[in-house]
Structure 1
Amino acid sequence: MTKIEILKSMVRGDQKNAAAWYLLGLEYTEQHNRVEALLAFTQALAYGDEELKQSVIRELNKLSREAPQSTGAEVQETEVLLSKGKHTPAVMRVIEGGKNRKNRSDQPLTEKVVDFSEVGGLHDVKEAIRIKMVQPVLTPQLYERFRKRAGGGVLLYGPPGCGKTFLARAAAGECSAKLYHVQVADILDPYVGASEQNIRDLFASARQHRPAVLFLDEMDALGYHRGKSASPWMRGMIDQLLAEMERAARQLDRLLLLGATNLPWDVDPAFFHSGRFDKVVFVGPPDSEARAAIFRLKLEGRPTEPIDYAQLAGWTELYSGADIEYVVELATEQVLHDILATGIERPIRMSDLRESIAATRPTTIEWLRTAKNYVKYANDEGLYDGVEQFLTAHKRI
């Protein structure tokens, strides 16, 4: 038996074995299984003593910081907010949209406003978000005249590092709204009922700053499939989240819901019903146009010889934005190494980038191969049509 199997048998025999739950969480963390790790750590928090709880909190904070690679402009994660003996209200990062940009220098969490013009490629994705979320805010009279119900949300799914969080920032900037970036660390709490209250507080806070985009990141953890979870803590949290999403859709109160996940097959099916995430959009590896734009962005401000961005894009098919960022960093490190070794300064050359590309491979392939199985065996309702079209166009995967 593996160590995980042994630990699982221990907690099946004793559901309140906090030490076993904690060790199980550590094992899942080692395997990079964030969802199962979070579930195990939640149980450890529920049954552990104060000393163990502090150890669990440290591990949860590590998980919160270890997000999948992303394009450089993505929002930083908020650490778990837990305290000894009492519930600490949830806090979200607030990112200012286009409205009221001036005279806001006193807001330390405000980041540079971006919009869809700064997102390279992904035209179908941007159009889907624009029709579903942006235009109902910009032209409400038009939607009312055609009796088009504005509400519900959009769930973005795809390989890590392909810019889902950056798209959320751009969507908020496009409709001059505030972006509330919410992760499981902002909600999870060891005390009974506290996680549910955190959710209520998060939605209430967002309603006070309408129009607002509530970006629910890592939906595979926030809304983990209840049929796969034995944790009553997670079930209560998910039920509360579903109720708040339904309320937001019913009231049409300019509270826009945007979600993201790398593992859509682990999201509870209830989130895909009308009024919740009734639009599911695949965000795949950037196309050639987008890859060239990412290279241009990542090389901006660095000493370079003339760069053929189209050629670089051609060499990096299936690379994510994070993969391209790594290529640029690898090439930069090599140039700095040469300068320090020889004492002769030189710019980054095409040959440096070509060598870095040759030394790497796209990290999206493993995800796409996993998704291929779901497309083949679990796409009866068309949930994975977007990735199916992508796979059809890339036969070699």
Structure 2
Amino acid sequence: MNQFFKKKSNLLVVFVALLVGAGITIFSLKDASNLEASGVIDTPLEKEEQPEKGKEESPIEKEKKTSTEEKDDKADDEEKKTPKDNNPKKEESEKPKINETPVTHKDYQTTTELNLRTGPSPDNKKIVAIPKGKNVTHIATSGHWYKVQYGKHTGYVNSGYLEEVGTVDTSKEKSSKSTNSEAKQPTKATYVQGILIANKKYPLPANYAPGESKEARNAFNKMAAAAKKDGIGLVAFSTYRSYATQQSTYDYWVSKDGQSAADRYSAKPGTSEHQTGLAFDIHETGKYDTRFEESDGTRWMAENAHTFGFIVRYPKGKEHITGYMYEPWHLRYLGVDIATKVFNSGLTLEEYLGIQ
């Protein structure tokens, strides 16, 4: 009996063990199915996709592909850009017309560093500074200013600082013969009481070319500095002129106003004080030519120029003696001692030296 119950118990244990084993197996299969569905693991049926053998892109193909993609991107960028405005710019407002006379092109050389300006006046904007000894081409004239070509620049310079170079125009030679009455040129300069003279009676030789006086320039600089302290800006716009330059200047005024009129304010070549290098034409900043006659600068120079060695060379009411009309801007350097004596005498230089 005992053996019967023992056999039954063993069978029961085996049966339970079989049931437990079957449950574990079912659970494991179900859990694996859930993991596969979630993608956490790979299954033999779902291998990672690999490129077929021989289908990989070579470095050259990759480069071509990249290049093509870049071109496509650039093309897209170009399409996105705003088209350029092809409309022409509006024309600037017209500048005031400058009264100038075209001339036969001729080369000149600068006698000092010279400012090239946008118009025929020191008040106009400076374009560039032309070094001493450089050639410029004269293309038009506006008063005593020349319109010139200097390299790639075109502008205006003061003709008093130019010296003609090259051949002389035949038409100008004819003009010289008709307007210059001196049949015989002097061979040396004239000094009276140690003072260099240049006027209609005592001309200078054509080859007399001292350039601008350094002593006179230094004196002018001191005078300009003193005037500046009094609120007056003085500028020397014409100093030394060569014989050839004076010839051009004189011929211009004769052609413009006639010889009788020109002889009152423009000197024939050889008779100009500018050839001495001691004459300075001066104006006040913003005022020049006739506008300078009644300016504060005119009065200041008339009262103070002698203390720096200058005199007003052609005073008012003395044209019959000096040969030239009143020019308050034209100063002649004599040195402080002589200039002060001439000033105190109230006489012209001709009267003071007794050579009128």
TM range (shorter): under 0.3
TM-score (norm 1): 0.22
Flag the structure with larger Rg.
2
Q: Which structure has the highest helix share of the two?
A: 1
Higher strand share: 2
- TM-score, normalised relative to structure 2: 0.24
